[in-house]
Amino acid sequence: MSIVTAVWFVVVAGFWGATNPFIKLGSKGIESIKASSPFRQFVAELWFLITNWKYLIPFVINQSGSVIYYITLASADLSLAVPITNSLTFIFTAISGHLLGERIKSKKTILGMLLVVTGVTMCVLDKVK
């Protein structure tokens, strides 16, 4: 795996993680939708989401990350692809959530984030050719 491939996985994690809090914010209000049948409920909720730009824009960016992930997997070592994207997605989610006003609950969370970044960096440096 090359360093370029690893960078693309970090980009994917950024797309996924940075959009998660925005998707959460954009979907507020969906719980108040009520319909007379399960099918109508599904359609009403789907309509709510696809007509809500606060949800739709982050969702499209998030799915763009999935397309990049799929393309990058062709030249990647799976033993690195999954840990890089999944663990760094958590980091980006926590950071973007914090920037939107969510509190990071404890210093242990910050320490854990630093350890995750350190571990991913070590794994990448070990595998990069």
Q: Does the pLDDT value for residue 128 go beyond 80?
A: no
pLDDT tens digit sequence for 77-113: 888 888 889 999 999 999 999 999 988 888 998 999 9
pLDDT tens digit sequence for 24-75: 999 999 999 999 999 999 999 999 999 999 999 999 999 999 999 999 998 8
- Determine the structural domain holding residue 102 and report its residue range: 3-127
Read off φ and ψ for residue 74, nearest 5 degrees.
-60, -30
Cα dist from 129 to 8, 34, 91, 120, whole Å: 16, 55, 26, 16
Of 22, 25, 18, the closest CA to residue 93 belongs to 18
Please count the structural domains in the chain.
1
Q: Does the pLDDT value for residue 127 go beyond 80?
A: no
CA–CA separation, 75 vs 103, rounded Å? 38
pTM over 0.75: yes
